[in-house]
Copies of this chain bind each other. A is one copy, B any other.
Amino acid sequence: MTTCPTERDPTGSPGQAAFDGQDAAPGRALVIGTGLIGGSLGMALRRSGWHVAGVDTDPGVVESAVSLGAIDEIGDDPDADLVVVATPVHRSAAIIRDVLADPRRPSTTVVTDVGSVKASVLAAVDHPRFIGGHPMAGSEQVGIDGADPDLFVGATWVLTPSTTSDPIAYARLRSVVTGLGATVVALTADRHDALVAVVSHVPHLTAVTLMDLAASLAEEHGSLLRLAGSGFRDMTRVAAGRPSIWLDICADNAPAIVFTLDRLIDGLQAMRSRVAARDGASLGEILDRAALARRGLATHVPPTAGLTEVRVPVPDRAGVLAEITTLPADLGINVVDFEIVHSLEGAWGVLVLVVGSSDAATLSAALQERGYHPTSVSIETPV
């Protein structure tokens, strides 16, 4: 017997105090580190009806968080259903471990973080109710004064379930995040780190290198930076960001950054060869290819005409959650909704992934390849 995942019946919930089943019905949250991301998250949660407590190592920052409406009160909340660690990455693992080891807290508390690198934290914290997160938002503003409850609306928010993750904790966190207007992409921590090296870390270091090169040449040629137009300004804008964050990122994601920098250097060497050889054909090819790809990046994916539930009966063994939830992202498929359908005895039995109907066959085939037996049901009303 299963309950229907699209009919949210409170009587079918496992009786959590704060969460209505897997939904993000407002409860009590604790934000540790009330800077830009922590403060924005506090504002967004409070707007959704949550009670938010907050702490920060800087008393001025946490007082600003109260006066700006980012948190309800200063201090720990041992009853928090959700704890978000939004400190610098190098401090987060120890804090997460302390939170999870605190005997006063409910045994259902979900803990997440918001750091830009995920594998290092996961390696230091192996706990079913810690699910790593990374909201891809807010790189330019710094500090609580830039906090904005709309920061996450429309943003991609990566969650990194692991082989030991508690599926219920994952489903709840996912529901909170989507309730803030973000789109969840589930990735393994290693995959996340490899991908952000490509789209964030190495581009950032490249902007820094370009800016530094131009600045050093500007010492000889006073007019150089007066020739810097909108293209150069766009390309180097991120280099104005806060250096300390990037020291953490470089330390924690060094292998993926080095790997990607090597590929970029190879690419630039190939570009140099094309220019030196006046190889217009090869240059034209890569210019065309990149222009097409960049224009594609600007194109919004149109809303799907219809949605399909892909239901996956799963064995109760470790690793299933991570394998199934991270598969759609690898296939480039957006998961519109996600739910766990319990059998009456409380064991989780069926994962439900709601995807665009045009993606359902691809997802089902990939699941079948991995030994699962999904069934698909078209649903009338888009969620």
Interface positions of A (Cβ within 8 A of B): 136-137, 139-140, 155-156, 158, 183, 185, 187, 191, 194-196, 198-200, 202-215, 217-218, 221-243, 246-247, 250-251, 254, 257-258, 260-265, 267-269, 271-272, 274-276, 278, 280, 283-284, 286-291, 293-298, 329-334
Contacts and interface: CB of A to CB of B under 8 A. Distances in A.
A62 B335 CA distance: 50
A238 B298 CA distance: 12
Nearest to A267: B209
A232 B196 CA distance: 10
Given A261-B271, A294-B237, A330 B221 contact: yes
In order of increasing CB-CB distance, the 8 nearest A-B pairs are A222-B332, A243-B287, A223-B329, A215-B293, A240-B294, A209-B267, A208-B290, A211-B290
A370 to B, nearest CB: 16
A232 B199 contact: yes
Contacts of A260: 213
Contacts of A227: 136, 156, 158, 185, 195-196, 199-200
Contact of A283 (B226, B229, B250): B250
B240 A237 contact: no
A139 B223 contact: no
Contacts of A200: 227, 229, 231-232
Contacts of A155: 229
30 contacts: A136-B227, A136-B229, A139-B229, A156-B226, A156-B227, A185-B227, A195-B217, A195-B221, A199-B229, A200-B232, A202-B210, A205-B271, A207-B235, A211-B294, A212-B289, A213-B267, A223-B332, A231-B238, A234-B238, A236-B294, A239-B291, A239-B293, A240-B291, A243-B284, A250-B278, A261-B268, A265-B265, A265-B268, A265-B272, A268-B268
Given A286-B208, A291-B240, A329 B254 contact: no
* Overall SS of chain A's interface: helix
A339 B331 CA distance: 65
A275 to B, nearest CB: 5
Given A214-B199, A227-B156, A241-B291, A258 B232 contact: no
Contacts of A214: 198-199, 293
Of A206, A237, A241, A288, chain B has the most CB atoms within 10 Å of the CB of: A206
Contacts of A247: 280, 283-284, 287
A268 B329 CA distance: 30
Contacts of A187: 223
A235 B203 contact: yes
Nearest to A183: B226
Contacts of A332: 218, 222-223, 226
Contact of A210 (B225, B239, B264, B295): B264
Given A214-B198, A263-B213, A298 B226 contact: no
Contacts of A235: 203, 206-207, 234-235, 238
A290 B136 contact: no
Contacts of A202: 210
Contact of A229 (B137, B226, B240): B137
A375 to B, nearest CB: 23
Nearest to A261: B272
Given A231-B139, A265-B269, A278-B251, A246 B208 contact: no
Contacts of A204: 231
A213 B271 CA distance: 12
A203 B232 CA distance: 7
A264 B214 CA distance: 10
